[in-house]
Chain A
Amino acid sequence: MSARIVAPVLMGLVMLALWEGLVRAMAIPPYILPGPILVTKTLISDWGTLWPALLVTLRITLEALLAAVVVGILLALLFSLSRWIELSLFPYAIILQVTPIVAIAPLIIAWVDDVNVSLLICAWLVAFFPILSNTVLGLRSVDRNLLDLFELYGASRWRTLLDLRLPAALPYFLGGLRISGGLALIGAVVAEFVAGSGGRESGLAYRILESGYQLKIPRMFAALVLISAAGIAIYLLLSLVSHLLLRRWHESALKDE
């Protein structure tokens, strides 16, 4: 096994052991800081509540990511077709990006009746910008000579887009997608926090809030672990997709030689 895997795993185990040791040695009560063993136990015992909550959060995350991909690509295409559209819309895309989601989430939740839809909008707002800006960059980063070549052979704008601009933009888009995957999850969690919705259809963030109110801190930690795990899983999955699509040709996917 390579050092790339052994080193972080070893580090993680040492930290967990240290954490457990400290909690025991100093007799810290679980409602202040539960040890990792208790958190694991809670994760297993409360699985019946946590797992459905994880699915709710994941569903919002994936839907938001999908919407971010569709809108991001469509807007990027529109921008690449017309300089005027880009000049008029891009500043507003940036405004959407830099406005903190916690500040506008209450508005969105107040305006939109369906909580699920408002959560989706919040997560989408956070996630779409990296895809948009990266794809715009990619569509523009086309080899000038290849563009000349397409022109020389009388390629239509549509052909050039399909056979040249889109493939050239793919690595940039995938880079944006990896960032957006994590952001969509953060967006979904933040929006759930603000919405604070209860009932059967509640996500992990609500479970964290609820556990906080009820001083069920071990369950709160278990929910946090699940959110982190989900974030890591999304990142790894998108990295894998990126690798599979680029491995034959792009520098970023080549093994060190």
Chain B
Amino acid sequence: MPLVRVRDVSQVFANGVRALDGASLDIEAGEFLSVLGPSGCGKSTLLRLIAGLAVPTAGTIDWPQGRPDLGFVFQEPTLMPWTTALANVALPLKLRGVVRSEREARAADALAGVGLVGFEKSYPRELSGGMKMRVSIARALVTAPKLLLMDEPFAALDEITRRQLNTDLLELWQRTRFTVVFVTHSVFESVFLSQRIVVMSARPGRMRSELAISAPYPRSEAFGTSADYAALCRLTSARLSEATVA
């Protein structure tokens, strides 16, 4: 029984743009799934629909196991600049009415979980791009969600920071085994991170093919330089080209 069942979902915006055209997808509990596709293929729209931030024009999104807690990580860190890292991370708890002492303790734990001990009192502008993204991830995880939706979260970061965050994200995932839906346009990132990759076509987006990445975890830098990894990237890249052209 999947966690989420997306069936024939289409989304047409008010301006007539068809972002999704009959997309179907099952998301299994606990898996690390990447949604790979060219810019503008409706990947982000799909995430917003799953998050309930928009209603599909057609099709259904079901939760056979009940709708779990969600975490959402945007492409930008999307922090409130007027308050501290701790208060930013504590926001979801605050909005749910958790008392101050408890939410601050849990937010501090979440910050520690992403390696940001000692930055609780820092304001977003005092943090680097990578650190801001860590705060954003901590905020998404502070409610201990069963499902983490990530919308090209590392696309704006430099290569070195991105690699570090990829490794750390996998470590977090292995520790708690929440479900991840990771939207990306990077073949390398999707192969390095996920157990399964869904390749989407150019707009209007639909699922074109699916790949299983069976390499074992933990995946280290060594995996990232192995011949296996290179072969998988080649294969995925070919699938992406097919999906984009046809």
Contact = CB atoms under 8 A, between A and B. Distances in A.
Q: Do A and B come from one complex?
A: yes
Interface of A: 143, 145-146, 148-155, 159, 163-164, 167-168, 170, 248-250, 254
17 contacts: A143-B78, A145-B76, A146-B80, A148-B48, A148-B51, A149-B91, A151-B53, A152-B51, A153-B143, A154-B96, A155-B95, A167-B80, A168-B82, A248-B82, A249-B81, A249-B124, A254-B125
A151 B125 CA distance: 25
Contacts of A164: 80
Contact of B78 (A145, A170, A250): A145
Contacts of A155: 95
Interface residues of B, number: 22
A154 B83 CA distance: 20
Q: Indicate the member of A151, A167, A249, A254 with the most B CB atoms within 10 Å.
A: A249
B95 A159 contact: yes
B123 interface: yes
A249 B78 contact: no
A90 B70 CA distance: 40
Contact of B82 (A151, A152, A153, A249): A249
A152 B52 contact: yes
A168 B80 CA distance: 8
A152 B125 contact: no
B223 interface: no
B74 interface: yes
B178 interface: no
Given A148-B72, A249-B123, A170 B82 contact: yes
Given A152-B72, A249-B123, A254-B125, A146 B96 contact: no
Interface in B48-95: 48, 51-53, 70, 72, 74, 76, 78, 80-83, 91-92, 94-95
B78 A149 contact: yes
Given A143-B78, A153-B96, 11 more contacts: A148-B74, A149-B72, A149-B74, A149-B78, A149-B92, A152-B72, A153-B95, A163-B95, A167-B82, A168-B82, A250-B82
A250 B81 contact: yes
Contacts of B52: 152
Q: Is the interface of B mostly helix, strand, loop or mixed?
A: loop
Contacts of B92: 149, 153
Contacts of B76: 145
B2 to A, nearest CB: 21
Nearest to A148: B53
Nearest to B87: A163
Nearest to A171: B82
B124 to A, nearest CB: 7
Nearest to B70: A152
A154 B53 CA distance: 11
A254 B83 CA distance: 15
A172 to B, nearest CB: 13
A148 B80 CA distance: 13
Contacts of A250: 81-82
Contacts of B143: 153
A4 B243 CA distance: 60
Instruction: Kindly list the 9 A-B residue pairs having the minimum CB-CB distance in the complex, ordered from nearest.
Output: A153-B95, A145-B78, A249-B81, A155-B95, A167-B82, A145-B74, A153-B92, A249-B82, A148-B53
Looking at B53, B76, B81, B123, the one whose CB has the most chain A CB atoms below 10 A away is B81
A135 to B, nearest CB: 16
B13 to A, nearest CB: 14
A164 B80 CA distance: 8
A54 to B, nearest CB: 37
Given A143-B78, A145-B76, A146-B80, A152 B53 contact: yes
A168 B123 CA distance: 15
Most B CB atoms within 10 A — which of A146, A149, A163, A254?
Answer: A149
Contacts of A159: 95
Most B CB contacts (10 A, CB to CB) among A145, A150, A151, A170 go to A145
